[in-house]
Amino acid sequence: MAKGNNRAVLTGLFAGLCWGIFWLPLRMIEQAGLDAPWAMVVFLTLPALLSLPAVWVLRADYAQGLRPLLGGILAGVAFALYAAGLLYTDVVRAVLLFYMTPIWGFLLGWIFLGDRMTWFRWLSIFVGLIGLVVIFADDTGLPLPRNAGDWFGLISGMFWAVGCTLILTERRVRILTHAVNFLVVGAVVALLVAGIATVQEIATVPDWPEVRGLMWWFVPVAVILILPSSFATIYAPSRLNPGLVGLLFMTEVAVATVTAAIWAGERFGLREAVGLPLILSAGLIEPAVMAWRARRLA
């Protein structure tokens, strides 16, 4: 595997690890008195605002029109839809349906990029999905959409796979441009979801003092954690097959499950102990095979 691809694999793993602990600041925002939809708005909007100054530096990319920008835009839509899925259905169902992404990603890479569906890619898909089913089957049954939130989770995975494919194939704009679009569009869509939830009286608009009281700790979180991981989230798809990206991001499930068990007292039993190594190994199969082949040819 090329050195650039090795770097992309590491950034993909880093992004998955970061997203796996994002539930913690989100939970803290909720505990400060904000309803879940507006907690997501705060979570996404501050990093988006911090990224906006880069638009001036990247203005030449934006002058090229909409098509070269679609990858980051669709990735932002995907994340916001995923957040909506977490709001409107069980968390485990949204996670499971979103992480069918490797299937869509490898198929899109096969159809549109000419990537071969190798035996180890089929094995990665199989191992990763088995790990997810082992963890979530008792709670969710078969991962078939049953309500609006389920559809959000499933469709977000499709949007993410398409966005990854476009980021990989569209080289006319810089990676940072896709990352800014990812953050800004995610914030806009989250705001729309929160607005709909408010109209439906599912949520209420937070008072400014509530939001202002979060800034002393959330600004450092946004700068140190969210912004770098957002760039990593976009960098990996710019170098790797979208299906492999989905498998690398499955580390989010492992990290989220472990950290929630430690800090939130959620369940970590036999199924988690069996399923998590399967999920982690799924993301490492292709890099391991490619590294082994490279050593043989060296």
Most confident by average pLDDT, 1-15, 100-114, 149-163: 149-163
How confident is the model at residue 276, as a pLDDT? 76
Q: What is the pLDDT of residues 126-182, one digit of tens each?
A: 888 888 778 777 655 565 677 888 888 889 988 988 898 899 887 889 999 999 999
How confident is the model at residue 204, as a pLDDT? 93
Q: Which tokens is 140 given?
A: 């969710």
Query: What's the rounded Cα separation, in Å, for the pair 85 and 71?
Result: 21
Q: Which tokens is 283 given?
A: 């993301």
Our CA dihedral for 239, 143, 193, 80, rounded to 10 degrees, sits at -10
Please compute the mean of the pLDDT values over residues 91-116 and round it to a whole number: 76
How confident is the model at residue 225, as a pLDDT? 92
pLDDT bin (cut points 50, 70, 90) of residue 113 is confident
Q: How many CB atoms lie within 10 A of CB 38?
A: 26
**How much of the chain, in percent, has pLDDT values that exceed 70?**
93
Q: For 259-267, which contacts have Cβ atoms below 8 Å and span 24 or more sequence positions? A: 259/20, 259/21, 259/23, 259/24, 260/23, 263/24, 264/23, 264/27
Please compute the mean of the pLDDT values over residues 208-225 and round it to a whole number: 94
CB-based contact 106:243 (threshold 8 Å):
yes
Q: Which tokens is 277 given?
A: 């190594």
Say whether pLDDT at 227 is over 60.
yes
Query: What's the rounded Cα separation, in Å, for the pair 127 and 270?
Result: 17
Is the backbone of residue 28 left (phi > 0), alpha (psi -120 to 50) or beta? alpha
Q: How far is CA 159 from CA 3, 98, 101, 137, 173, in A?
A: 28, 10, 9, 24, 20
Residues found in the chain:
298
Say whether pLDDT at 224 is over 90.
yes
List CB contacts of 290: < 8 A, sequence separation 6 or more.
Answer: 1, 5
Say whether pLDDT at 117 is over 90.
no
Query: What's the rounded Cα separation, in Å, for the pair 207 and 278?
Result: 44
